[in-house]
C-alpha cells in the first residue's frame, strides 16, 4: 500500500535533525525512523506515521506527552517508545549501560502505557479505535524481559536482533503486537476502512482544533451550576460510556442530561429531543454556562441539517410509516459520514427518547458516534425515556426499540420523584388517569381535587367570557406576586381545532404570551401559553390546564399536562 507521513523529515538529513541537546545525533531514534518508514512503505497495509508527536495532555508531573513514534493502520494505533544505546534489565528495572549503570525512572513499557492511557482517558480518539504499545531497543539484544513467561513482554519489544535482520519487518511486528493485544482484550476482528482510519487519526493532525484539549468539570462545579443538593445518580453512572435511563416525570432525567453536558463541555456533542421548546430551554441553559461544543437540536431539524441532494429529508417524510422513516434516516446518516471532513460526535444525548425511538435514533447513534459505524457498541451516548409518556406506546412498540438500545449499554431505572411532596400526589393522579377508562377520567380528577385541593383544583366555566375572566384573575394574582414566570397555560389539542379557535383567541390577548423557541427564555410581564404536548419535557411550578368542556379529554394529554407541574395544577374546563 503506502505510508502517509505526518512528519515530513528528509530521510537523508536525519542526523542533523534528530539530535540531543548538545547537537549530537540520537542514533536510536534515527535508526528506528528509517526502519519504520521503509518497512511500512513496503507493507500491504496503509500506515499513518508520526515521529516526536507532542500532545498537550497532562500526565504525572508533565504538562504534555511526547511520543517517539505513533503508527496507525486499519487494525489500530501503536505507540512506540525507543531507547537507543545498550539497555539492561535487573529485577524488572531497566537501565542504560553507559559508563556504569544508569537506572531509568520508569520502565519504557510503563512510559508507553502512560501515553496510551493519557490519550484514551482524555477522549482524544473517537470511540472504537484500538490503541497498543511497544518498545524498541535497536542497539540491544534482549531475549526476554522477565523469566516468568506470563510477565514476559518480549512479544512487544523490537531489539537489535530484529533490527539487523532483513527477514524482519517492523510493519509486520507492529501488526502482530496490535493483533495480539486485541485478542487479549477480546476486541474482535473489526478493522477500519481507509476513510475510517483518516477520521481516527484526525486528532493528531497538524491542524487539529484546540477544542479537544480535554478537561472535565468536577462534581462540585456541576452541582453548583444546576443548583441542586446532590446528584448521586450521576456520580454513580458517570464512568459508563453508554447509558440508557428510564424514569417517569420528576425523576431528574433532564437534570442529569445537563450534568453530562457540563462534565464533557470540551467534547463535541449533540443534544437531541423531539420538542422545540425543550430544545430551546436546554440551549439557553448551556449558552448561559458558556458551553460551546454541544449542539442542541430538535430531532427533525438535526436530521434535516445532515441531509443534502438526493438524501434530503423533510417534515413530510416523518409522517410516513416508521419503517420508511428509519430507512430514509439510515440513508441520510450514511451519506453524511461520507462527506469530506466528517468526524463522529464524541457523545449524543437523546432526551424524551420515547418520541423518537421509532424514528431512526438507533441508526443515528450507531452511525455518528463511532469511527467504524458501530456506535451502539463502542460510542458514547446517554438516552432518557419514559414509555408512559410515549404517544400510542404499545402500537409503536416503544419498549422493543428501547430494549434494542439497552442491549448495548448500562440500563438504569429512576423511580424516585425528585420534586416536592405535592408533586407526588400529582404524578399519582396522572398515572391513575393514564390507566383508567376514558369515561372515568372526570370523576378521578374530581375525587383528587376534593381529597387534596391544594394540589389539584377544578373549575368549570359556562361561557367563554367567564373563562377569560378567570384567566385574567390568575394573571393578576401572579403579576402582583411577581411570579409570572412560575405560571403557564397549557391548552388541550381540541381547543386548537377550527378557524378562530379558542386557543387562537387566547393567543391574541395582550396579557398572554404564546411560547415560541425564540421567546421561551425571555422574561415577560405576560402569562405564557402553549399546548400541552408542546410543553412536554418542561416543567413549571403552577400549571393551568385548559380543557374542552364539551369533549372527552385525551388521557395521554392529561397525563402529560399534569406531570408538568411542580407544585399544583388548576384544571379549567372551557366552553368554546
Contact 332, 303 (CB under 8 A): yes
Instruction: Please give the CATH number for the structural domain made up of 219-414.
Output: 3.40.50.300
- Provide the edge-to-edge strand list for the sheet that holds 269-273: 294-298, 269-273, 347-350, 381-385, 242-247, 410-414
Average pLDDT over residues 314-320: 75
**Percentage of the residues of the chain whose pLDDT score is greater than 90:** 37
297: pLDDT strictly greater than 90: yes
The stretch 73-91 carries a mean pLDDT of: 92
| 181 in Cβ contact with 132 (< 8 Å) | yes
CA–CA dist 53, 159 (Å, integer)? 22
Per-residue pLDDT, 211: 43
- Residue 250 to residue 424: CA distance in whole angstroms: 9
Q: What is the pLDDT of residues 125-181, one digit of tens each?
A: 877 789 999 999 999 999 988 888 888 999 999 999 999 999 999 999 999 999 999
Give the CA diameter of the chain.
Answer: 103
The phi, psi pair for 484, rounded to 5°, reads: -55, -40
- For the sheet containing 487-491, what is the strand order? 456-460, 565-574, 540-548, 487-491, 527-531, 512-514
Are the folds of 219-414 and 421-574 the same? yes
In this predicted structure, the answer to whether residue 15 has a pLDDT above a threshold of 80 is yes
User: CA-to-CA distance for 558 and 576, rounded, in angstroms?
Assistant: 19
Q: Centre a 10 Å sphere on the Cβ of residue 330 and count the other Cβ atoms it contains.
A: 16
**Confidence at 208, pLDDT banded by 50, 70, 90:** very low
Collapsing DSSP states into helix, strand and coil, what is residue 3? strand
Q: Is the pLDDT of residue 257 over 80?
A: yes
For range 311-330, the mean pLDDT: 80
Q: Quick one: pLDDT band at residue 394, thresholds 50, 70, 90? A: low
pLDDT attached to residue 229: 53
CATH code reported for the domain at 421-574: 3.40.50.300
More confident residue, 307 or 350: 350
Mean local confidence (pLDDT), 269-274:
94
Rg (C-alpha) for the chain, rounded Å, is 31
Extents of the domains making up the chain: 2-212, 219-414, 421-574
At residue 266, the 3 state secondary structure works out as: coil
Lowest mean pLDDT across 119-123, 139-143, 230-234, 266-270: 230-234
Mean pLDDT over residues 13-39, rounded? 91
Q: Looking at per-residue confidence, does 270 or 207 come out higher?
A: 270
Over 90: is that where the pLDDT of 406 sits? no
Nearest to 492 by CA among 546, 432, 563: 546
Dist CA 92 CA 453 (whole Å): 75
Confidence bin at 530 (pLDDT 50/70/90): very high
Average pLDDT (391-414) is: 77
Q: How high is the pLDDT of residue 443?
A: 85
Cell of 103: 537506572
The whole-angstrom separation of Cα 340 and Cα 323 is 29
Task: Give tens-digit pLDDT for 330-382.
Answer: 999 999 988 888 889 989 999 989 888 888 999 999 999 988 888 998 888 99
Give 35-52 pLDDT, tens digit per residue: 999 999 999 999 999 999
pLDDT averaged over every residue in the chain: 85
Euclidean distance between the first and the last CA atom of the chain, given in angstroms as a whole number: 75
Q: Name the band, by pLDDT with cuts 50, 70 and 90, for residue 563.
A: confident
512: pLDDT strictly greater than 90: yes
| DSSP H helices in 489-532 | 502-507
Does 514 score more than 90 pLDDT?
yes
Amino acid at each position: 500500500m503506502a505510508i502517509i507521513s505526518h512528519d515530513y523529515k528528509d530521510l537523508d538529513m536525519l542526523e542533523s535533525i534528530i539530535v540531543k541537546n548538545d547537537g549530537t545525533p540520537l542514533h536510536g531514534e534515527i535508526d528506528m525512523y528509517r526502519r519504520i518508514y521503509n518497512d511500512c512503505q513496503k507493507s500491504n497495509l496503509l500506515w499513518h506515521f508520526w515521529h516526536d508527536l507532542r500532545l498537550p495532555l497532562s500526565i504525572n508531573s508533565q504538562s504534555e506527552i511526547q511520543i517517539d513514534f505513533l503508527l496507525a493502520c486499519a487494525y489500530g494505533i501503536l505507540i512506540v517508545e525507543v531507547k537507543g544505546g545498550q539497555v539492561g534489565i535487573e529485577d524488572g528495572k531497566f537501565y542504560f549501560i553507559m559508563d556504569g549503570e544508569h537506572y531509568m525512572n520508569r520502565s519504557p513499557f510503563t512510559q508507553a502505557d502512560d501515553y496510551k492511557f493519557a490519550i484514551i482517558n482524555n477522549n482524544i480518539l473517537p470511540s472504537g479505535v484500538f490503541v497498543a504499545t511497544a518498545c524498541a531497543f535497536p542497539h540491544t539484544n534482549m531475549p526476554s524481559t522477565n523469566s516468568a513467561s506470563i510477565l514476559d513482554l518480549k512479544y512487544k519489544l523490537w531489539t537489535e536482533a530484529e533490527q539487523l535482520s532483513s527477514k524482519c519487518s517492523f510493519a509486520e511486528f507492529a501488526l502482530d503486537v496490535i493483533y495480539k493485544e486485541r485478542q487479549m482484550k477480546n476486541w474482535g476482528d473489526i478493522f477500519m476502512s481507509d476513510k475510517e482510519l483518516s477520521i481516527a487519526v484526525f486528532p493528531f493532525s497538524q491542524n487539529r482544533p484546540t477544542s479537544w484539549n480535554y478537561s472535565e468539570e468536577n462534581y462540585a462545579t456541576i452541582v453548583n451550576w444546576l443548583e441542586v443538593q446532590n446528584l448521586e445518580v450521576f456520580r454513580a453512572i458517570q464512568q459508563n460510556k453508554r447509558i440508557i435511563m428510564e424514569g417517569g416525570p420528576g425523576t431528574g432525567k433532564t437534570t442529569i442530561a445537563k450534568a453530562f453536558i457540563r462534565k464533557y463541555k470540551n467534547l463535541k456533542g449533540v443534544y437531541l429531543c423531539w420538542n422545540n421548546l425543550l430544545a430551546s430551554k436546554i440551549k439557553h441553559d448551556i449558552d448561559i454556562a458558556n458551553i460551546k461544543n454541544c449542539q442542541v437540536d430538535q430531532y427533525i431539524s438535526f436530521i434535516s441539517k445532515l441531509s443534502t441532494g438526493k438524501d434530503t429529508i423533510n417534515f413530510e417524510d416523518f409522517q410516513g410509516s416508521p419503517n420508511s422513516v428509519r430507512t430514509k434516516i439510515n440513508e441520510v446518516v450514511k451519506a453524511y459520514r461520507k462527506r469530506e471532513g466528517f468526524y463522529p460526535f464524541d457523545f449524543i444525548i437523546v432526551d424524551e427518547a420515547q418520541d423518537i425511538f421509532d424514528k431512526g435514533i438507533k441508526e443515528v447513534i450507531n452511525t455518528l458516534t463511532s469511527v467504524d459505524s458501530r456506535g451502539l457498541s463502542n460510542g458514547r451516548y446517554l438516552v432518557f425515556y419514559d414509555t408512559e409518556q410515549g404517544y400510542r406506546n404499545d402500537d409503536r412498540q416503544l419498549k422493543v426499540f428501547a430494549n434494542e438500545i439497552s442491549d448495548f449499554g448500562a440500563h438504569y431505572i429512576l423511580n424516585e420523584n425528585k420534586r416536592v411532596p405535592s408533586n407526588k400526589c400529582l404524578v399519582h393522579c396522572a398515572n391513575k388517569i393514564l390507566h383508567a377508562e376514558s369515561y372515568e377520567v372526570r370523576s378521578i380528577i374530581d375525587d383528587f381535587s376534593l381529597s387534596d385541593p391544594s394540589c389539584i383544583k377544578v373549575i368549570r366555566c359556562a361561557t367563554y367570557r367567564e373563562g377569560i375572566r378567570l384567566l385574567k384573575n390568575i394573571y393578576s394574582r401572579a403579576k402582583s406576586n411577581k411570579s409570572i414566570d412560575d405560571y403557564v397555560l397549557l391548552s388541550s389539542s381540541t381547543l386548537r381545532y377550527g378557524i378562530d379557535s379558542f386557543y387562537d383567541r387566547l393567543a391574541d390577548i395582550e396579557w398572554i404570551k404564546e411560547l415560541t423557541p425564540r421567546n421561551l427564555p425571555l422574561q415577560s410581564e405576560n402569562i405564557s401559553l402553549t399546548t400541552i404536548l408542546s410543553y412536554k419535557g418542561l416543567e413549571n411550578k403552577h400549571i393551568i390546564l385548559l380543557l374542552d368542556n364539551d369533549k372527552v379529554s385525551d388521557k395521554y394529554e392529561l397525563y402529560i399536562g399534569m406531570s408538568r407541574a411542580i407544585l399544583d395544577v388548576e384544571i379549567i374546563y372551557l366552553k368554546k
